[in-house]
Amino acid sequence: MKINYCICYIFFFFICGFSLEIQSQVLGRSLLDSYVNRFAEQDEELYVQFISNSQAANFLFENIPLFECPDKNIEEIYYFRWWAFRKHLKKTPDGFIVTEFLPDVPWAGKYNGISCPAWFHFREGRWLKNSDFLKDYARYWLKGGGSLRSYSFPITHAIYQYCLVTGDNQILKDLYTDLSKNYLEWKKERFCIEEELFWQNDGQDGMEVSIGGHGFRATINSYMVAEAQTLSKIASWKADEQADFFKNEAKMIKTNMSKKLWDQKSDFFKVLPKEKNAKLQDVRELHGYTPWAFNLMDSTYSVAWKFLMSTSHFFAPYGLTTAERCHSGFKIAYEGHECQWNGPSWPYATSMTLVGLANLLNNQDQSFVSLYDYLTLLGIYARSQYKRTEEGIQIPWIDENLNPFTGDWISRTLLLQRNRLPLERGKDYNHSLFCDLIISGLIGIHPKDGTSLEINPLVPDGYWEYFCLDNVFYHGKVLCILYDKTGKKYNRGSGLSIFVDGKKVASSFLIKRINIDL
């Protein structure tokens, strides 16, 4: 009898628990499945890694936040980018890594790992429920033979962004010694004592054939400020005496970026060549917005954003250009190197810029860009991620670089013309963000240390009738953020609502910033 009572209790608990879970979830599985089924039908599965197409629907349902909004292009590309991201989870003898290219490429390191986009890999992958992938990935770079400094890569900051979502900083403490050594190695290799700044070749910044070229760049210096700031934080957790050292390093680099890389006449961060008595290059390039992706600049410098939406500078119908359109060196070339950063739109650069734009809109009062601009650019970015098949069907597609005026994937076109292998090198290219731009940018989940959480959607009030981000795994809890203008779409009340583990904890009739304590 005791056994029967026990079985009945377990059965009752399972049924009730399951029922409560379903009731608390706003978005079901049907929307995800409809997209995944279509992606599978349209996809040629050339390179299979840990999770095959046939396993994708179950994996994604168990791991990703679910999203719905009135802009169906943005919604589709959100699910498409998760579909593509899971392809890059690669199981190796030393654990999981996240790849950039699906086929092996000769310039990659061990297991086909490339450090250039890894900051994006951590920001995107941090929203997966299964956090073990990124734990392995962090150890790969520091202890598993990854080619850590082959490209500019702010690894400490990347792992910290991941830890903000999981709520567990232990891996940062465990890897602190290796992270500190990595910073000091960067100083040996790329720090100039005279300028007190880091320098980098544009190709090792992932931006080859750029107009600004090699030298002291806002990219690597922003990364190193973020590295030093984060290392100082970890050192303070561990009561390590180097906390002040790293704090002073960050302050020094940031000060010299403002003094030496900011062009007051052009209102922009530019490249300073490494040569003696050099002057700032005469071109504005999109990577000049990198400091804002790390929240480094105050409102004094926000004037730089007046160029973003200008067709004379960066704005184009299929994406932001990597160099300003008014410069004599600007070009869209179908000859020479297939990867050029002198004009084409690159999802990498667009991602970094949109992270910076979201930070600007969240943290500074300025009159140069607006919430509408963020949504405009996000929409353009989503609508650029397509390819037209030979049958004339438009399907979701992410590749390398993009013609900002026609939407053609330039490197793909050139590689096909040249019969270059591997086949479809850039297909499902994992070199940028999209899902994180929705989660932390558009919907505005701002992970923090401790138990506080800020939500600040970048959707202008009244712009959309509804949106919902559900099944968000954060600090061991499940979040849902939804807006329902009339309350009839989701039947959870009108306005903006925040749910934690199925319980409404905050609401507002208007879309606005909300702070909650978990």
Residue type, 176: Y
* CA–CA distance, 335 with 127 (Å, rounded to integer): 39
CA distance 346 to 352: 10
Stated as kind and residue range, the H or E segment containing 300 is none
Written as tens digits, the pLDDT of the chain (518 aa) is: 333 433 333 333 333 333 334 335 899 999 999 999 999 999 999 999 999 999 999 999 999 999 999 999 999 999 999 999 999 999 999 999 999 999 999 999 999 999 999 999 999 999 999 999 999 999 999 999 999 999 999 999 999 999 999 999 999 999 999 999 999 999 999 999 999 999 999 999 999 999 999 999 999 999 999 999 999 999 999 999 999 999 999 999 999 999 999 999 999 999 999 999 999 999 999 999 999 999 999 999 999 999 999 999 999 999 999 999 999 999 999 999 999 999 999 999 999 999 999 999 999 999 999 999 999 999 999 999 999 998 999 999 999 999 999 999 999 999 999 999 999 999 999 999 999 999 999 999 999 999 999 999 999 988 999 999 999 999 999 999 999 999 999 999 999 999 999 999 999 999 999 999 99
Asked, for residue 436, whether it belongs to a domain, the answer is: yes
- Domains held by the chain: number: 1
> In Å, how far are 137, 172, 274 from 179, measured between CA atoms?
14, 8, 27
Inside any domain, residue 425: yes
3-state secondary structure 329-373: CCCCCCCCCCCCCCCCECHHHHHHHHHHHHHHHHHCCCCCCCHHH
C-beta separation of 180 from 156 below 8 A: no
Asked, for residue 338, whether it belongs to a domain, the answer is yes
Rounded CA separation 59/55 (Å): 6
Angstrom CA distances, 507 to 159, 441, 492, stand at: 32, 19, 10
pTM of the model: 0.94
Task: Indicate whether 382 belongs to any domain.
Answer: yes
Write out the residue range of the structural domain in which residue 363 sits.
303-442
The tokens describing 309, both together, are 């939406």
Q: Is residue 344 part of a domain?
A: yes
Q: Examine residue 142 and state whether it is found in any structural domain, yes or no.
A: no
**How far apart, in whole angstroms, are the C-alpha atoms of residue 81 and residue 87?**
10
Angle, CA of 41, 470 and 450, to the nearest 5°: 130
- 201 near 214, Cβ under 8 Å? yes
Kindly state whether residue 262 falls inside one of the protein's structural domains.
Answer: no
DSSP 322: S
280 domain-assigned: no
Chain Cα centroid distance, residue 300: 26
Say which residues have a Cβ less than 8 Å from residue 5's Cβ, sequence separation at least 6: none
CA–CA distance from 306 to each of 211, 259, 345 (Å)?
21, 21, 19
Of the candidates 46, 110, 34, the one whose C-alpha atom is nearest the C-alpha of residue 75 is: 34
Find all residues with CB under 8 Å of 505, minimum gap 6, and list them: 498, 499, 516
DSSP string for residues in 32-80: HHHHHHHHHHH----S--SS-HHHHHHHHHHHS-EEE-S-HHHHHHHHH
Please answer whether residues 511 and 483 qualify as being in contact, where contact means their C-beta atoms are separated by less than 8 angstroms: yes
